[in-house]
Structure 1
């Protein structure tokens, strides 16, 4: 991550999702076989891969997964 870019700028949907709607888990989970997951009150929003080369890769995947979920469901977290 660039020193000039905040976490919120780099991962806007991930940041907003955690702030307004849900939670995330980072760390390998034996039950799901994933390293990153996102949940909201309705259940599981995104299940990531079982491993990543870097934490940056894991966060980028989580951002992409949450972005796709929000777009597919027409959710605007700041509305």
Structure 2
């Protein structure tokens, strides 16, 4: 299977989320014990683990949970 060439191809749900629903934050933040976070205008959608072995794994985790977010909304 060929590798995805663009962010949009590799992370379609995350891309759509940022374009249409909300925003993400990556990195350490005071008082928040998660390395990656997703928010919409209603608040926190997802807070990931406190650390990941790689950024790639952090994005994969976000993608999985944002996909579930869309499925929960019936989108």
Structure 1, residues 47-71: CA drift from partner, whole Å, max 9, x if none? 1000000000000001111111111
Give the distance between the partners of 2:65 and 2:35, measured in 1 at CA: 13
TM-score, with normalisation over the residues of structure 1?
Answer: 0.85
Shift of 1:29: 2.2
In structure 2, the gaps of 5 or more residues are: none
Matched, 1:55 2:75: no
TM-score, with normalisation over the residues of structure 2?
Answer: 0.89
Question: What is the aligned residue count?
Answer: 73
The equivalent of 1:15 in structure 2 is 15
More strand by share: 1
1:29 aligns to what SS in structure 2?
coil
Give runs of ≥4 in structure 1 deviating > 2 Å: none
Give the distance between the partners of 1:10 and 1:34, measured in 2 at CA: 22
In structure 1, the gaps of 5 or more residues are: none
Q: CA RMSD in A?
A: 1.1
Give the distance between the partners of 1:71 and 1:37, measured in 2 at CA: 18
The equivalent of 2:39 in structure 1 is 39
